[in-house]
Amino acid sequence: MSDDVTQDWLGQPSDTPRPDPMRAVRDHGKPVLPKRFYKETGFAEGEGGFRLTLDGRPANTPARNPL
């Protein structure tokens, strides 16, 4: 009798494999950002030397340090 109640609640077991939770997290983690392309690159003189500029703006590292 307990099998009938369980099957009523959960349904019949299927042959399809259950989704992998690690793959689901990996696939829906960080979004893929488009690659950046710059029309103009150069160097500009700044404090303590030269800085890389991309489209006329000074380039920084992800930690906001000058390149």
Report residue 19 as tokens. Answer: 């989704």
- Residue 10, pLDDT > 80, answer no
> Model-level pTM greater than 0.75?
no
Report residue 50 as tokens. Answer: 């030269």
Residue in the structure block whose two tokens are 């307990």: 2
- Mean per-residue pLDDT of the chain: 84
Amino acid 3: pLDDT: 64
Q: Distance (Å, rounded) from C-alpha 46 to C-alpha 66?
A: 10
45-55 pLDDT, tens per residue?
Answer: 977 899 999 99
